[in-house]
Structure 1
Amino acid sequence: MVDDLREQIESGALQADEKLPSTRVLMETYGLSDNAVYRAVGLLKAEGFVYSSQGKGVFVRGRRALIAGARRVKGITHPGERIEWRYSRRAEAPAWVAEHIGAGECVERARTVRRGDVIHEASRSWVRLDVVTVVPELDEPAPCNPTWQAVYTARSGNPVQPVSVVADARIATDDDLEALGLDGSTYAVLITRTVYATGDDVIGVGEAVYAPGQPLDLEAS
């Protein structure tokens, strides 16, 4: 079911904001139980393909672009890059983060990436608290080696994958300006938001903000 609906969305057979069939219709179409359909729709939500509108149903999400993000799970830097750690702290999940990992306290981590003397990227991640029992380094003021996703995979035996990476743009916020070392002018910045899951269980999300004028190597899909 998930593979088929993904293909329909990516091919344009299902358009942005088009309503998905009801649970009963999906059960009959794919020969699944109601629980299996709920889990499949939950995975499509986590991957960014669909969204719910309370009392109305589930709809296809309009997305500007998807990029491949597996390389960030395998290694935290690329050649010529240098990580500068900013902080790790307990914090309430922002609204968009709570949509994926649930409301309440989580671990928020922030860092920047330099290429030479220029800050190329500022990123933050929000990770569910139960992940800390497997990766206690999340609470430490230093990067996980090589990444928290890789450490969790190695220790738990449950692979962590980037199930959705969505690219968008916005006017830089005050936090963006500070992290990227920019002055108070108005800048448009590219952002990417990544959802990380083990199986169909979303355990963390991340947001990267890229400095204006910096070359990017994003693989469209």
Structure 2
Amino acid sequence: MSIDPTDPRSSSRQIADALREEIVSGHIGPKEKLPSERELVEKYGTASQTVKQAIGLLKAEGLVEGRKGSGVFVRQAPLITRVGMDRFSRSKRAAGRAAQQAEAEAAGLSWRQEVLHLGEVPAPAWVAELYGIAEGAPVFVRSRREWVGDQPNQLADSYYRLEVVEGTAIKELKTGPGGSYARLEEAGHQIIRFREELLARMPSPEEVRNLRLPAGVPVVRLRRTALTEDGPVEVFESVMAGDRFTFTYEFDAPE
């Protein structure tokens, strides 16, 4: 097989597209090694730099990953967690499971949470705006990293007004059955509505490290406000690995 000089695509793009087709079709399966650079040079009759560029395109798409001293391999499809509208139902909290735990276990996946920080912090501007307080005013934060299987899949920060969490297990390492929302409602803060905002973007270097993201994988930033009759009771932000979640929403068509 050789490069088609009449094709408007660059030589590296033609090679990348051909390899992608083999990956998508399953001819080269997950965890399998791609042909070596020398083999691809011979197969396509092109320069090694062109082959490197083609592999770089596939790495940027998150389809393959390089392993030092071993070669380039097709990425294993990541475990997918479904994010649905019912994840904050009281029935799941009553069963003693937090939202993300319930979703992971429903898919037959293991779940665990790693607490990174508990304590008072100055309120970021966006948190202060939602709470109607001064930027930098003290709030309580629970920062954690959540894992599904052996992969970290999201970084999550929950911000609370100090008086709301005082005397609750939300300030402890383990919040207890049903998670923080169960503790909030036990303390008399009945949640009536959730509001969410999603934004897709490329990750920061720190997020790449903490979520173990391969090249080319975006993240989804989710900001959520849990509301009571008296206003926000939790302000939440998570950064999720973009290839490890699917979002499912169902709602009535507005008139």
Q: TM-score normalised to the size of structure 1? A: 0.59
Residue 71 in 1 paired to residue 88 in 2? Answer: yes
Quick check: 1:97–1:126 contact (8 Å CA) kept in 2? yes
Q: For residues 69 and 215 of structure 1, what CA distance do their matches in structure 2 show?
A: 15
Unaligned runs of 5+ in 1: 1-66
Partner of 1:124: 157
User: Out of 201, 206, 220, which is 2:231 matched to?
Assistant: 201
Q: Which stretches in structure 2 are left out of the alignment for 5+ residues?
A: 1-83
Show the 5 A alignment for 1:110-189.
110-135=143-168, 137-156=169-188, 158-182=189-213, 187-189=217-219
Q: Is the 8 A contact 1:85 1:110 kept in 2?
A: yes
CA deviation vs aligned residue, 1:143-192 (integer Å, no higher than 9, x gap): 44322221121232x31244301222122234433432347x56421121
Name the % identity: 22
Among 234, 244, 247, which residue is 1:214 paired with?
244
> Does the 8 A contact of 1:107 with 1:138 survive in 2?
no
Distance 2:177 2:129 in 1: 28
Give the number of equivalent residue pairs: 152
Corresponding residue of 1:3:
none
The CA distance in 2 between the partners of 1:121 and 1:215, in whole Å, is 10
Superposition RMSD on alpha carbons, in Å? 2.5
Cα-to-partner distance string for 1:9-43 (whole Å, 9 max, x where unaligned): xxxxxxxxxxxxxxxxxxxxxxxxxxxxxxxxxxx
Q: Is the 1:189–1:210 contact (alpha carbons within 8 Å) kept by the matching residues of 2?
A: yes
Q: Which has the larger radius of gyration?
A: 2
Alignment of structure 1 residues 8-23 onto 2, 5 Å:
none
Code of the residue aligned with 1:114 in structure 2: it is: W
Is contact 1:123–1:207 with CA below 8 Å preserved after alignment? yes
The answer to whether 1:190 aligns with 2:220 is yes
State the shift of 1:123 in Å.
0.9
Aligned 8 A contact 1:68 1:165 in 2: no
